Amino acid sequence: MNGTEYLADVYTPSRVGLRSGSIQQLQIAASHLDAFSGGVSIDQWTPELVTRWMQAMHKAGMSGSTINSKRRAILTLWRHAFDQGRHPAFPRGIAKAREPKRAPRAWTADEVGAILQVCRGQRGMVADLPAADWWESLVLACYDTGQRISALRTLPTEDCDLNTGWILIRAEAQKVAADMVCGLAADTIEAIGRIYDAARDCVWPWPWHPNTLWSRFKRIVLQAGVRYPAKKSHCDLFHRFRRTSGTLVDAAGGNGAKHLGNSPAVFVQSYLDPTLAGSQVHLLPRPVAPQPTFRVVG
């Protein structure tokens, strides 16, 4: 039984309340290791095999964070197999990939405005909705709430109350497994109102493969001409809105960590853009250097 089979036949049926996103990440890692190893049985996994797999990913140009994410998924399955008596050894001695800590980057309000301008020029339809209205309302919701795109993209219409200006992000769509209520600004409410239909299952229907959402939005961002590294993976697109929302709330004197539902430590490390949050240098007492009474020449 290889990793993919173990995930489907043993691990997933033994868990209660496992998020679909978590299952997907486990599937990606397990299938990747299965392909690398030739489908070796999970009871034959060794630290040497997993390390060689990680080294191959590094040579292929994967980032340290991506490699470590796959490593965590594999160790999750391995530990479960050990606990179930399906692997003879507990996973040990598998070092993490080097993962440089980058400063979080966010957009300014003006850059979000440039993105909105491009959204308003979109032609065609998304499902049965004007594409311009669909994209504008989604971008404004991302900006206001700082919520993950996975939660907003599947937001049930019943969890969006345009009369009160609040949306409910249910615990099942949150990493922290807790409901979160998010407020919407007046222009966001108006934009959502143009596409809202209580008869639909979700506020923002997307009739195509989920991956195409990132491709379409990347074109919008590049057309807007805002700061976005050309080689950056798609995952930074919508997540940059999360950093933007939290950073700008914090810079305005609010609580950015609470706004995003993060701990202060996670917020500072992963979401707060120091270039927009304001410099702390003004808190330093300034050194005083009296002017010399004579000038040294030579």
Residue 283 pLDDT exceeds 80: no
Q: Which of these CATH numbers, 2.60.40.10, 3.30.70.2860, 1.20.120.10, 1.10.443.10, describes 109-270?
A: 1.10.443.10
Q: Please list, in sequence order, all residues whose beta carbon lies within 8 angstroms of the beta carbon of residue 266, skipping any fewer than 6 positions away.
A: 257
The DSSP call for residue 290 is: P
Q: What is the pLDDT averaged over residues 263-292?
A: 84
Tell me which residue of 116, 134, 115, 137 sits closest to 124, measured CA to CA: 134
Placement of tokens 């890692």 in the chain: 29
pLDDT at 44 over 90: yes
Query: Do 87 and 131 form a contact (C-beta atoms < 8 A)?
Result: no
The pLDDT value recorded for residue 231 is: 59
CA distances from 2 to 9, 10, 18, 42, 248 (A): 10, 11, 21, 5, 46
Instruction: Inform me whether the pLDDT recorded for 62 exceeds 80.
Output: yes
Per CATH, the number for 3-83 is 1.10.150
List strand residue ranges (DSSP E) for the chain, in order.
125-126, 129-130, 160-161, 166-169, 180-183
Q: How many CB atoms lie within 10 A of CB 155?
A: 23
Say which DSSP state 104 is in.
P
Mean pLDDT of 56-69: 93
**CA-closest candidate to residue 74, choices 109, 49, 106:** 49
Q: What is the DSSP string of 17-29?
A: S--HHHHHHHHHH
How far from each other are the two terminal CA atoms of the chain, in whole angstroms? 80
Q: What is the pTM of this model?
A: 0.78
Distance set, CA 171 to CA 29, 165, 175, 219, 279 (Å): 25, 20, 8, 31, 35
Percent over 90 (pLDDT), the chain = 78
pLDDT of residue 77: 97
CA–CA separation, 263 and 266 (whole Å): 5
Task: State how far the Cα of 176 lies from the Cα of 280, in Å rounded to an integer.
Answer: 31
Query: Measured between alpha carbons, how far is 3 from 40 in angstroms, rounded to an integer?
Result: 8
Nearest to 37 by CA among 66, 11, 74: 74
Q: What is the pLDDT of residue 235?
A: 61
Residue 294's pLDDT band (cuts 50, 70, 90): low
Mean of the pLDDT values across residues 260-264?
92
Residues 76-94: tens digit of each pLDDT: 999 999 999 999 999 999 9
- pLDDT above 70 for 267: yes
Average pLDDT for the chain:
91
Domain ranges of the chain: 3-83, 109-270
Instruction: Say what the pLDDT of residue 296 is.
Output: 58
Residue 29 reports pLDDT greater than 60: yes
Specify the residue for token string 């998924």: 73
- In tens, the pLDDT along 116-174 reads 999 999 999 999 999 999 999 999 999 999 999 999 999 999 999 999 999 999 988 88
Does pLDDT of 48 surpass 60? Answer: yes
- The 10s digit of each residue's pLDDT in 227-249 is 887 655 556 789 999 999 999 99
